Structure 1
Amino acid sequence: MDNQWFLIFADALLILHTLLVAFVILGLVATFVGYFRGWQWVRNVWFRMAHLLVIAVVVLQAWLGVVCPLTSWEMALRAKAGQAGYEGSFIQHWLQSILYYSAPDWVFILTYTVFGALILASWFVVKPGRR
């Protein structure tokens, strides 16, 4: 396979990863804003279950010290393309600066856990499935 395809797939994974992060963050914001604005879609059980599941996976990975499979897969694709680290395409450069930053592990574990707790709390404040 041409090295360019490995980079395209790596960039696609980075976009997917960014979309999942946005889903978790914006999903929580939308849940509370929707509660106050009367948006019924924020009570959709499937939306809320997907939202809780994504953050639960992130929190579990953080506590277990497991690197996100999307990150590992992306790095492996970049390595196959002969790229070192995260230098590369425009998409990769800008999205990478949003997702990846340096901090001690405990900061990530605490942040993910607090965010997960907020999402779990949203289930009690904005009960899913109620019409």
Structure 2
Amino acid sequence: MNPAFAGKLADAILVVHVGIVAFVILGAVAIFVGRSRWRWVRGVRWRLTHVLLMAFIALQAWLGALCPLTVWEQALRRRAGQASYGESFIEHWLSRLIFFDAPWWSFVAAYSAFAALVIAAWFIVPPVRKAHD
């Protein structure tokens, strides 16, 4: 694979990763803010995607595993000859939004607490099955 292409693909994976983080965090906010205003926050498919994604993230933390997107991105950066999280503009700034230097246990605690919130939201603001869901 061309190193320049590998670097651009790594940037694209990082953009997707940031999008997933935004979906999980902003989705939880949207559930509580829009529970009586926005019907889409009660959609079963949307909510199931949200809760399963957060459960997957928390499970990874408990197992001590890195996110597959992180692993893939770092492998592409090595292939591109880039230092992880230090080469391109997109990679430099977006990575600072979602990666923190903290002990692993703090991530396990944070992901577990957020997963508990997302699961609680399922019961506090229950999804509503529509005929097309």
TM-score by length of 1: 0.95
**Who is 2:54 aligned against?**
55
> Higher helix share goes to which structure?
1
Query: How far off is 1:39 after superposition?
Result: 1.4
Is 1:18 the counterpart of 2:24 in the alignment? no
**Who is 2:122 aligned against?**
123
In the alignment, structure 2 segments of 5+ residues that lack a partner are none
What is the CA–CA distance in structure 2 between the aligned matches of 1:84 and 1:59, rounded to whole Å? 27
- Report the 3-state secondary structure (helix = DSSP H, G, I; strand = E; otherwise coil) of the residue aligned with 1:10: helix
**Who is 1:76 aligned against?**
75
**Who is 1:98 aligned against?**
97
What is the CA–CA distance in structure 1 between the aligned matches of 2:74 and 2:127, rounded to whole Å? 37
Count of matched residue positions in the alignment of Structure 1 and Structure 2: 130
- Report the 3-state secondary structure (helix = DSSP H, G, I; strand = E; otherwise coil) of the residue aligned with 1:75: helix
1:62 partner letter: A
Deviations 1:44-87 (A, max 9, x none): 00100000111011000000001111000000000001112211
What is the CA–CA distance in structure 2 between the aligned matches of 1:38 and 1:80, rounded to whole Å? 47
In the alignment, structure 1 segments of 5+ residues that lack a partner are none
Query: How far off is 1:38 after superposition?
Result: 2.4
- Report the 3-state secondary structure (helix = DSSP H, G, I; strand = E; otherwise coil) of the residue aligned with 2:30: helix
2:26 partner letter: L
- Report the 3-state secondary structure (helix = DSSP H, G, I; strand = E; otherwise coil) of the residue aligned with 2:86: coil
What is the CA–CA distance in structure 2 between the aligned matches of 1:63 and 1:111, rounded to whole Å? 11
Give the conservation status (yes or no) of the 8 Å contact 2:44–2:129: no
Deviating beyond 2 angstroms after TM superposition, the runs of 4 or more aligned structure 1 residues are: none
**Who is 1:28 aligned against?**
28
**Percent of aligned pairs with the same residue?**
52
Query: How far off is 1:25 after superposition?
Result: 0.2
